[in-house]
């Protein structure tokens, strides 16, 4: 059965929108050469096809005689620049789940970064293939042996399987597909995430437990890291791995690469603090228009002021590509925290400044109890994600949990955003490609539990994503509201401290998002740079690694330490 290796290759821009680095050297070859060499080494592959935008010549980056590749390596032009109407939506989704193989907004997986399906299907048809293994040009560490196994599994029954994936971290495994599934996704239009994620309209067994999942070793599967050569963080990690492996890099399989990754990070415990964390929350104001029992505002008063606009602008400048040094490039910024970001008088200016500074993705957290003009601005500003705090699926529960009768207004506002977003979309009114993401959220409590399933299924169907969050108590500042205890029986180190940064509206950088009062500050953004604050916080992470959380002000009695 003819097999083609399809490699979407953009020599100017990475899938997440950063500058492509395909010509960078890693040992004896550049990034694209490593990818092509690995693809050509797959026994079943008969030809390698580089699919590229107009005005680019990816073959100019490849020294085929030196690589001694004995299979044809050709190019295929895509006049649509490797984009379709779904691309902005999938790209935005993946920015919020960079180190995970799946779990992005709308269920987007790392394999959705390989799309759109149209040019892939066309290339496979033009070159006479019936099945393909797909990777991007900057997936220079993907494992050819996994690809071989995936293709063997696919060829056992192409009509039934249609695709074979693995649970490898992004960059370590391609996906094996048939021409039929690419055409199906093209005509949908849809992505791999639509197949791999939960669908309330067509419920199915999780594909992870089915034959379409090619099993891989746990040490690879459980590695939570992005190993794609595209962001400053992942580039530095891959370069460290390459340096450690030396001339063994070209033949290193996924197990060797993940083992080397662990060795590199173990030998450099401060490596996680070299860069700012991928997720930063900036509280523009602690104020909300609601104060029901489900909110912290019902239980205590937050007397800190709205953030000074000049301070907010200085902060977002440090988070974007306009920052300095090697600490930028892949940060996602959520404007929210305890308050409703849209209540800040200059929230629009701050959003615009973050985008202009080069922040990878900007989200906003709101109760959406606002007027029409504010709704319009949500669609006009460079926002990727609007998280709407519903916390109910009926007016009665909203009154009980949020303390107001605003359910009709938030529902009406959400519906208007949904319909207006479709109307404005360039795709002629298809919700699947419209931006920004609208994500209704609900806190799981005894009061909301009866409505949880209907809420999740309804909004997942309409919006593509809905969020159920645990009931958090701010380390004892409000009563425990979770229906059942969620923490594991034995305590471990906090999973959040080294992954997220929370900045309060007075400039205090809190230890975590449960430090509502800044009782255990790690710095002050008014007088310190964010990277200096972050690097100084390594001691807190070390305390958790060494099980000394009881020494920290708010950590000893915390029951939220297990949250991802």
Task: Pull the structure tokens for residue 203.
Answer: 């419920």
Task: Pull the structure tokens for residue 332.
Answer: 């996602």
pLDDT for residue 426: 65
- Taking the CB of residue 198, how many other CB atoms lie within 10 A of it? 12
The Cα–Cα gap between 73 and 52 comes to: 13
Residue position matching structure tokens 């297990």: 562
Task: Supply the DSSP string of 337-383, one letter for each residue.
Answer: TTS-GGGSTTHHHHHHHHHHHT-SEEEEEE-----HHHHHHHHHSS-
pLDDT digits (tens, 9 = 90+) for 148-182: 999 999 999 998 899 999 999 999 999 999 999 99
For residues 22-33, average pLDDT: 97
Name the band, by pLDDT with cuts 50, 70 and 90, for residue 124: very high
pLDDT digits (tens, 9 = 90+) for 331-366: 999 999 999 999 999 999 999 999 999 999 999 999
What's the half-sphere exposure (Cβ side, CA atoms, 13 Å) at 322?
13
Name the band, by pLDDT with cuts 50, 70 and 90, for residue 142: very high
Helix H or strand E segment including 32: helix 31-40
Q: How far is CA 296 from CA 158, 445, 451, in A?
A: 53, 14, 21
Beta bridge partners of 19: 13
Return all residues near 92 (Cβ < 8 A) that are at least 6 apart: 105, 361, 384, 385, 435, 436, 437
Task: Pull the structure tokens for residue 408.
Answer: 């009709």
The Cα–Cα gap between 365 and 212 comes to: 37
Helix H or strand E segment including 280: strand 279-282
- Taking the CB of residue 453, how many other CB atoms lie within 10 A of it? 12
pLDDT for residue 317: 94
In this predicted structure, the answer to whether residue 465 has a pLDDT above a threshold of 60 is yes
For residues 431-448, average pLDDT: 90
Of residues 472, 340, 505, 333, the one with CA closest to residue 413: 340
pLDDT digits (tens, 9 = 90+) for 246-279: 999 999 999 999 999 999 999 988 888 888 999 9
Angle of helix 31-40 relative to helix 144-156, nearest 10 degrees? 40
Residue position matching structure tokens 């529902």: 411
Helix H or strand E segment including 73: strand 73-77
142 close to 38: Cβ distance less than 8 angstroms: yes
pLDDT for residue 469: 93
The Cα–Cα gap between 11 and 59 comes to: 10
CB burial class (10 A; 0-12, 13-18, 19+) of residue 54? exposed
The Cα–Cα gap between 327 and 321 comes to: 9
Helix H or strand E segment including 453: helix 449-463
Q: How far is CA 466 from CA 156, 442, 446, 461, 530, in A?
A: 37, 8, 19, 9, 31
The larger pLDDT score, comparing residue 557 to residue 16, is at: 16
pLDDT digits (tens, 9 = 90+) for 69-122: 999 999 999 999 999 989 999 999 999 999 999 999 999 999 999 999 999 999
pLDDT for residue 347: 98
pLDDT for residue 422: 87
What are φ and ψ of residue 386, in 5° steps?
Answer: -120, 110
pLDDT digits (tens, 9 = 90+) for 287-334: 999 999 999 999 999 999 999 999 999 999 999 865 444 445 789 999
- Taking the CB of residue 197, how many other CB atoms lie within 10 A of it? 20
Task: Supply the DSSP string of 168-224, one letter for each residue.
Answer: PPTTS--EEEEHHHHHHHHHTT--HHHHHS--SSS----GGGSTTB----HHHHT--
Specify the pairing of strand 3-8 against strand 332-335: unpaired
Average per-residue pLDDT in the chain? Answer: 93
What are φ and ψ of residue 282, in 5° steps?
Answer: -120, 115
Task: Pull the structure tokens for residue 389.
Answer: 């705090």
For residues 423-427, average pLDDT: 74
The larger pLDDT score, comparing residue 494 to residue 218, is at: 218
pLDDT for residue 274: 86
For the question of whether the overall pTM of this predicted structure is more than 0.75, the answer is: yes
pLDDT for residue 367: 98
The Cα–Cα gap between 236 and 231 comes to: 8
């Amino acid at each position: 059965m003819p097999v083609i290796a399809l490699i979407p290759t953009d020599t100017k821009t990475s899938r997440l929108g950063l500058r492509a680095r395909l010509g960078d050297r890693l040992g004896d070859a550049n990034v694209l050469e490593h990818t092509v060499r690995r693809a050509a080494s797959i026994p079943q592959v008969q030809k390698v096809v580089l699919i590229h935008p107009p005005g680019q010549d990816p073959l100019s980056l490849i020294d085929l005689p030196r690589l001694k590749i004995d299979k044809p390596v050709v190019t295929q032009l895509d006049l649509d620049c490797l984009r379709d109407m779904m691309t902005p939506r999938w790209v935005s989704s993946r920015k919020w789940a960079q180190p995970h193989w799946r779990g992005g907004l709308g269920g987007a997986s790392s394999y959705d970064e390989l799309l759109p399906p149209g040019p892939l299907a066309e290339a496979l048809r033009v070159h006479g293939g019936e099945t393909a293994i797909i990777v991007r040009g900057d997936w220079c560490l993907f494992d050819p042996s996994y690809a071989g196994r995936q293709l063997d599994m696919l060829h056992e029954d192409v009509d039934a399987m249609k695709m074979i994936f693995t649970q490898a971290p992004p960059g370590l495994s391609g996906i094996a597909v048939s021409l039929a599934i690419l055409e199906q996704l093209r005509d949908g239009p849809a992505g791999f995430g639509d197949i791999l994620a939960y669908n309330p309209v067509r419920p199915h067994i999780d594909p992870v437990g089915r034959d379409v999942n090619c099993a891989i070793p746990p040490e690879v599967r459980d590695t939570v890291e992005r190993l794609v050569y595209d962001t400053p963080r992942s580039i530095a990690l891959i370069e460290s791995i390459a340096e450690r492996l030396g001339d063994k890099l070209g033949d290193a399989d996924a197990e060797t690469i993940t083992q080397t990754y662990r060795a590199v990070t173990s030998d450099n415990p401060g490596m996680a603090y070299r860069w700012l964390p991928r997720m930063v929350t900036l509280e523009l104001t602690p104020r909300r228009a609601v104060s029901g029992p489900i909110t912290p505002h019902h239980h205590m008063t937050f007397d800190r002021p709205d953030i000074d606009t000049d301070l907010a602008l200085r902060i977002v400048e440090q988070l974007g590509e306009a920052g300095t040094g090697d600490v930028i490039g892949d940060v996602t910024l959520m404007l929210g925290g305890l308050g409703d970001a849209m209540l800040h008088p200059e929230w629009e200016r701050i959003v615009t400044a973050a985008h202009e500074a080069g922040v990878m993705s900007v989200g906003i957290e709101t109760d959406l109890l606002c007027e029409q003009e504010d709704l319009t601005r949500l669609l006009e500003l460079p926002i990727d994600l609007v998280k709407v705090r519903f916390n109910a699926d009926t007016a009665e529960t909203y009154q009980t949990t949020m303390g107001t009768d605003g359910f009709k207004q938030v529902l009406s506002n959400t519906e208007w955003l949904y319909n207006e977003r479709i109307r404005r979309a360039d795709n002629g009114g298809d919700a699947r490609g419209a931006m920004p993401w609208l994500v209704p959220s609900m806190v799981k409590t005894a009061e909301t539990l009866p409505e949880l399933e209907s809420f999740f299924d309804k909004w997942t169907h309409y919006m593509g994503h809905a969020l159920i969050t645990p009931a958090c108590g701010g380390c004892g500042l409000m009563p425990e509201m979770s229906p059942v205890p969620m923490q594991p029986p034995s305590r471990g180190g906090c999973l959040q401290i080294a992954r997220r940064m929370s900045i309060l509206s007075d400039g205090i950088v809190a230890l975590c998002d449960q430090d509502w009062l800044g009782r255990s500050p790690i710095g002050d953004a008014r007088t310190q740079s964010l990277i200096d604050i972050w690097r100084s916080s390594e001691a807190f992470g070390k305390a958790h690694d060494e099980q000394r959380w009881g020494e920290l002000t708010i950590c000893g009695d915390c029951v939220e330490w297990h949250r991802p």
